[in-house]
A and B are shown apart, each in its own frame.
Chain A
Amino acid sequence: MLLGPGVTWWVVFFAVPVAILFAYSFFRRGTFGGVVYDLSLDNYRRAIDPLYLNILWFSIRVAVITTGLALLIGYPAAYFIASSPRRLRLPLLVIVILPFWTSFLIRTYAWIVLLNPVGLINRSLQGLGVTDGPLPLLYNEFAIVLGLLYAYLPLMILPLYASIERLGPSVREVAADLGAPPANTFLRVTLPLTLPGIAAGCIFVFVPSLGNFIVPELLGGGRKIMMGNLIQQQFLQARDWPFGATLALFVVALMLVLLAIQARILNRERSQASDGR
């Protein structure tokens, strides 16, 4: 009975749309847009052109860097929140998600105000005599990573917090009592036991980073293109839905691989936990 809504949700919002994308990927664009129902593999042949594979590769690189940085910043932050006094945890978590109460677009534009060559940061640095000319902070890969990191960091912190909090201080205390130095306790106890949280956080950050098209457009100055932009361009500007669907399937496939890896980590965790009992 409980499965009903979950399965319905999955079918309506995942299986059916992906099936439609899959079907479209074998058709072709009509002369004035629209879809012509001629079966062929042309879209796949076109999608594996080095041009598009390079864009996919660049997107993966940006998403991996963003995810790595989010983990490096998010883990200590989540650890700090989880080990704060109980009454401070909720306020701290609220602070983490507070930026989401304003529009993502406005927050992204705010970065332009800060980072642009005549913006606040560059003017301050030059005013203080730290730099001679403006630093190239905007319209490059650095700005894209920064924007994505800023946007998705909370999605890393929340699952990490959940798993660190669930672990509680007791296992760490046991490890310390048994003589493990703090570094060992962290590497051999805390880190492995919070692996499910790490996996969830990484997926929550990686997947939307790969598909985001607003940040590359605004902070990247449209000079770099990611999968999200490419797909958006095909669906909207080129009105080539079949090719856009093919490209979208590549991203869906990548996401499924990641989810499979996450499921393995969770399973291993569970079987180890049950072995221990």
Chain B
Amino acid sequence: MKGSIRPFRSLALVGALALLLAACSSDDGGGGGTGGGNDQNAGDRTLVISNWDAYMPKKLIPNFEAATGIDVQLAIHTTNEDIMGKITAQDGGGFDVVFVSGPFVQALVAQGWAAELDHSQIPNLANLYPEATQLAFDPGNRYSIPYAWGTTGICYRTDLVQQMPSSWDVFRNPPADLAGKMTMLGTDRWLLQPALISLGYSINTTNPAQIEEATAWTLEAKDNLLGFDDTTFYSKLVSGEASLVQAWDGWCEYGRADEPKIDFVVPDEGSDVWTDTMVILASSEHKEEAHEFLNYVLDPKVGASVSGFVLYKVPNEPAMESVDPALLEQFPTLALSPSDLFQQEAEEDLGQGVSAWSEAVAQIKAG
């Protein structure tokens, strides 16, 4: 039995290394911890809030804590789908306040997970633009307070395109110099949008024939793309890797902040208007504190700081009026008025139509 020790040692070594390796590579998934929202002692002034990363000025939470004495635990989600998954996994619990987009307010309400708001505790509601109180997904702000809103359009390098883009058709029939130099958004709702709008259909359609037509349109466009990109498209513009991308207005401004030769246009055919909101969960045991937070965010000064930080418009009239004019000049999409914005179609939940959409997405990505 010569060498009977050796193999054991080498196996143990490899085992240890493998463990080490597993431990070190386990950080590639999304964030995990959700924190316990429903503390037993409801007497504590605490709040668990979940928001997108970097979607709030860094000082907002510390300032709120200082002003109210409420202890805030901030969780991060990467997408609407991510936070919905976390809430679903905890059967509607885990958080006091969550930031989600309009269609997801509808989903939360339908599941009975959104708390009805007590407007008497939110005096700053008066600061909202009239348009912000009549949102299709939640008329009268019964369950949600809009936080920021914007539209989707074409973001491009003025020095790398021959002609200013004016139509979504640029993705399907690009001039030769743009082929392979464009990206489109890859998540379900925005992937089909250029096609649906070009074809004259609603962006909330669930009609299978229309979705099929839009799928064919997008498959044609795919041949001209560098790729689908939801997260780094503006840096691709800055580096010159891409010349023209489908982009949310505020994220186009992130690009413009680094490269002034970037501009944004809403195509002639129109676009969408999306709204990100704050919702209090029905399971929250800190509803009073949660209302205080919503009211705090609606303060004009706070609203203006949000707009200046995230470079999106906020639905807060006095806040937008107080935004530094120099900022509006540097980032023109901030100057889009609510009436401009609401000429576009608002996003709504697709309900059971989601399956047809996700099938279309799989078809486009696999094609």
Chain A residues with a Cβ under 8 A of chain B: 29, 31-34, 51-52, 54-55, 58, 90, 93-94, 97, 100-101, 103-105, 116-119, 139, 154-155, 158-159, 161-162, 165-166, 168, 214, 217, 220-225, 229-230, 233-240, 243
Contact = CB atoms under 8 A, between A and B. Distances in A.
B365 A223 contact: yes
B277 interface: no
Given A93-B17, A97-B20, A166-B10, A238 B366 contact: no
A97 B23 CA distance: 12
A236 B85 contact: yes
Contacts of A165: 6-7, 10
Given A166-B11, A236-B81, A229 B355 contact: no
B120 interface: no
A223 B225 contact: yes
Contact of A34 (B14, B111, B357): B111
A165 B222 CA distance: 49
B262 to A, nearest CB: 16
A221 B227 contact: yes
A234 B366 contact: no
Contacts of B186: 217, 222
> From DSSP, what is the main secondary structure of chain A's interface residues?
helix
A32 B111 contact: yes
B188 A224 contact: no
Contacts of B13: 90, 93
Given A93-B13, A214-B28, A221-B229, A51 B363 contact: yes
A51 B25 contact: no
A222 B227 contact: yes
A204 B251 CA distance: 39
A237 B25 contact: no
B27 A104 contact: yes
Contact of A100 (B7, B24, B106, B355): B24
Interface in B68-107: 79, 81-82, 84-85, 88, 106-107
B258 to A, nearest CB: 15
Interface in B329-367: 349, 351-352, 354-355, 357-359, 361-363, 365-366
A158 B14 contact: yes
A50 B304 CA distance: 52
Contacts of B3: 168
Given A33-B88, A168-B3, A238-B188, A225 B10 contact: no
Q: Interface size class for chain B?
A: 35 or more
B310 to A, nearest CB: 23
B240 interface: yes
B25 A100 contact: yes
Contacts of A33: 84, 88, 107, 111
B349 A32 contact: yes
A239 B188 CA distance: 11
Interface of B: 3, 6-7, 10-11, 13-14, 17-18, 20-21, 24-25, 27-28, 79, 81-82, 84-85, 88, 106-107, 110-111, 183, 186-188, 222, 225-229, 239-241, 349, 351-352, 354-355, 357-359, 361-363, 365-366
Given A222-B228, A224-B365, 15 more contacts: A32-B106, A32-B111, A51-B359, A90-B13, A93-B13, A100-B21, A101-B24, A117-B241, A139-B227, A165-B10, A235-B85, A236-B85, A239-B84, A239-B354, A240-B358
B358 A97 contact: no
B28 A104 contact: yes
A94 B16 CA distance: 11
Contacts of A52: 362
Given A34-B88, A104-B28, A236-B81, A159 B354 contact: no
Contacts of B222: 223
The 9 closest A-B CB pairs, nearest first, are: A221-B227, A222-B228, A225-B365, A238-B358, A104-B28, A236-B81, A166-B7, A32-B107, A32-B110
Nearest to B357: A238
Contact of B110 (A31, A214, A237): A31
B126 to A, nearest CB: 31
A174 to B, nearest CB: 13
A252 B239 CA distance: 41
Interface centre among A90, A103, A221 (most CB of B within 10 A): A221
Contact of B81 (A32, A154, A222, A237): A237
Contacts of B228: 221-223
Contacts of A104: 25, 27-28
A138 to B, nearest CB: 8
